[in-house]
Structure 1
């Protein structure tokens, strides 16, 4: 890598670090390329050479966060490949919570209030599906639940060429939704004054999903 390329990468990484700080301070709607440029001692137009728009910066942050989450879940699944599926899935669910707690602003960028005026491009949608499918692939190792599966689940998988059983995918969606619900409430402080063990509540929800 040339000196110019190294400098370009350093500027991009610094800009993304400032964007994450803005997320923590002001939420997703508070990201401003001009403000980031000011903090870096650059002009707005200068920083736009590295990120052509606020949306381009957001897309990169979102894609990287989804990729990191997917890699966290996939590596956890790989570490527990020889374990019973319930053990592997529980470990993955707990890894998901640890990932969220380690970077709450990053979690809320992905799963919190939508950013005003921002429409996620296709590459971020594909990255999000990767994390969900990591759960579905392990759920395939469990007996299929007795409840009927809406045909739309199978159609969704067929349309995208994903080789996962519809019943496992449905169960993954249900579990994913429950985990998100609890994590979102926890990270926005909704449980702060209730005085109970949120980690245990989360474990109970995961166990409920795995029990069908």
Structure 2
């Protein structure tokens, strides 16, 4: 009996991820005419896509604005890198539900439209610009002595990612990008889901430290005055 109760409880918890965005119902609760709503959003998927594309573009705006401000301030590549990720974090903390919508558990049965790839590409593009500039300036460590060789599977991952926005970057840097991307989004998600409050007095400083550490890990050099 206890096991059956636990299984049913888990089933209900899993059900929390089911989303009901039927436009007519949303229009009613929003106090909007259902027919007018249907002209903008003919079905649930259209409404969800609008939310997701809008959120991705908003976080990209924040990351790009942070990058531009860092460049204007004369920041070096590592400081620019940290600024971009701080832009991502600041948006996420201000919009936790939207961040979880983007980088939380996928919505069952929903496939995001191609426009989301373009928006995510803007975030990645800001980071890649830092890496390319650092490489030109001789401030990007491409190979690490003693670093573990890439497995056949990881080489496949690197080739796939390296044929896109990271094309032309060293394979070691591309491989580290997998770790950096998941690590820093993991840190943001940890804070957004309120798992950091009990252990960190100053969450922003924890993230700044993590973003800087991941910047060094990917190959950006820390200057003596930092």
Name the TM-score class by shorter chain: 0.7 to 0.9
Residue 49 in structure 1 maps to residue 39 in structure 2: yes
Displacement of 1:179 in angstroms is 1.5
Separation (CA, whole Å) in 2 of partners of 1:65 and 1:184: 15
Deviations 1:41-81 (A, max 9, x none): 44545422211111111111111211222222223222323
CA distance in 2 between partners of 1:28 and 1:75 (Å): 34
- Structure-2 residue corresponding to 1:189: 194
The corresponding residue for 2:12 is: none
Do the aligned partners of 1:157 and 1:164 also contact (CA within 8 Å) in 2?
Answer: yes
Quick one: which of 66, 71, 82 aligns to 1:76? 66
Could you tell me whether the CA contact under 8 Å between 2:197 and 2:203 is conserved in 1? no
Residue aligning to 1:144? 142
2:113 is equivalent to residue 108 of structure 1 = no
Larger radius of gyration: 2
SS at match of 1:192: coil
In the alignment, the residues of structure 1 paired with residue 19 and residue 193 of structure 2 have an alpha-carbon distance, to the nearest angstrom, of: 16
The Cα offsets for residues 157-185 of structure 1, whole Å up to 9 and x where unpaired, read as: 32x47545144443333222111111112
Please list every run of 5 or more consecutive structure 2 residues that lacks an aligned counterpart in the other structure.
1-15, 135-139, 218-226
Equivalent pair of 1:139/1:172 in contact (CA under 8 Å): no
How far apart, CA to CA, are the structure 2 residues paired with 1:190 and 1:72?
23
1:122 corresponds to which residue?
A: 114
Structure 2 residue 104 is matched with structure 1 residue 99: no
Q: What is the match of residue 66 of structure 1?
A: 56
Q: TM-score, normalised by structure 1?
A: 0.74
